Amino acid sequence: MILTAVINAIEIKENQHLRNNLVPWEPRHNQPSETRQLRSDLGIGPARLRFESDLFDLFHERREPAEILEDLVDLIGRRYSLIAYIFYLFDDNRFLPIGTTTFDRAFDELGIELRTAGRCSWENYQKFVESVQLVRAGLKDWIGIKNVHLIDAHSYLWLLVRLPQKVEQMQQQGLQRPGDLKAAMITLAQGVINRVDNATGSQSSGL
Surface-to-core class of residue 133, CB atoms within 10 Å of its CB (0-12 exposed, 13-18 middle, 19+ buried): middle
Q: What are 19's strand-pairing partners?
A: 13
Per-residue pLDDT of 64-112, as tens digits, reads 999 999 999 999 999 999 999 999 999 999 999 999 999 999 998 888 8
How do the domains of the chain map onto residue ranges?
2-90, 100-200
Q: What is the mean pLDDT of residues 151-171?
A: 73
pTM of the predicted model, to two decimals? 0.78
Q: Of all residues in the chain, what percent carry a pLDDT higher than 70? A: 75
Specify the higher pLDDT residue, 190 or 90: 90
Q: What average pLDDT does this structure show over 11-24? A: 77
Sign of the alpha-carbon torsion through 61, 63, 69, 74: negative
pLDDT of residue 201: 47
CB neighbour burial string for 10-27, b if at least 16 within 10 angstroms, e if fewer: beeeeeeeeebebbbbee
- In this predicted structure, the answer to whether residue 144 has a pLDDT above a threshold of 70 is no
What are φ and ψ of residue 155, in 5° steps?
-65, -40
